[in-house]
Homo-oligomer: A and B are copies of this chain.
Amino acid sequence: MPESTRTAPDLAGAAPGLFDMATPRGRLLRIAARLFGEKGFAGTTVRDIAAGLGIQSGSLFHHFRSKEDILFAVMEMVVEAINRDLAEAVAAAPDTAGRVRALIAVELHYLHGPASDATSVLFHEWRALPKARRSVLMNGRAAYFDLWQTVLAEARAAGLTPIEPEILRQLLHGALAWTSFWYRPGGALTPEALVERALALALKDEGRAS
């Protein structure tokens, strides 16, 4: 188990309000994120979303011009929030390994904390977007990818991994993104422990598992 000084940033408090539940728009996005996450974008109908809000399906279109716009808005919110949190967490970390752990912790926190629905959607439903909008999103994620790559390059320079930063980033991203299919917090494996396992995967001699 990680010692307290190496503990990942607290997972509970972050992204407490990815969506503003005080506004109809925020509530709509929250419901949509949940449904897209559960049943997929294609498997979710606008009627499902409307029913979740207690309104008629036609009324959705006063808030968004299309179902796809809803998906895009969900993704955009995650992109912005994750960018912000990631930068903060990395800045606060004391050393290279801490920065890698921070990246992993933030990503897992998004995948399994209060923003899990929306983050799942961002990670697993991007193929539902037309190419044009995908690239808009990719632009938004550029800073995020840069940050990962910078930190991983630093780690490699420090001899913590033999793998090229870009490849390692992709492999880790897959490993983390996939956790949304098998990991659920609340079981025997705590989120913090999962962070350590992923860190052990990323870096040699880090993250002792058990």
Q: Chain B's nearest CB lies how many Å from the CB of A37?
A: 10
Closest to A164 in B: B209
Q: Chain B's nearest CB lies how many Å from the CB of A180?
A: 9
CB neighbors of B among A192-210 (8 A): 194, 197-198, 200-202, 204-205, 207-210
Interface size class of A (residues with CB under 8 A): 35 or more
Task: Please tell me if A190 contacts chain B, counting CB pairs below 8 Å.
Answer: no
CB-based contact B42/A201 at 8 Å: no
Enumerate chain B residues within 8 angstroms of A197, measured Cβ to Cβ.
163-164, 167-168, 171
Interface digits, A130-167 against B, CB 8 Å rule (1 contact, 0 not)? 00000000000000000000000000000001111001
- Contacts known (A42-B43, A201-B163, A204-B204); A179 close to B183, Cβ less than 8 A: no
Task: Please tell me if A170 contacts chain B, counting CB pairs below 8 Å.
Answer: yes
Enumerate chain B residues within 8 angstroms of A167, measured Cβ to Cβ.
189, 194, 197, 209
Enumerate chain B residues within 8 angstroms of A92, measured Cβ to Cβ.
none
Enumerate chain B residues within 8 angstroms of A171, measured Cβ to Cβ.
175, 178-179, 197-198, 201
Q: Chain B's nearest CB lies how many Å from the CB of A171?
A: 4
- Contacts known (A40-B127, A42-B40); A182 close to B164, Cβ less than 8 A: no
A182 to B169, CA, bound (A): 11
A177 to B173, CA, bound (A): 11
A177 to B197, CA, bound (A): 19
Q: Tell which of B168, B170, B172, B202 touches A179, judged by Cβ atoms closer than 8 Å.
A: B170
Q: Tell which of B168, B174, B198, B210 touches A162, judged by Cβ atoms closer than 8 Å.
A: B210
From A162, A202, A207, residue with most partner B Cβ within 10 Å:
A162
Enumerate chain B residues within 8 angstroms of A201, measured Cβ to Cβ.
163, 168, 171, 201-202
Task: Please tell me if A90 contacts chain B, counting CB pairs below 8 Å.
Answer: no
Interface digits, A31-52 against B, CB 8 Å rule (1 contact, 0 not)? 0000000001011000000000
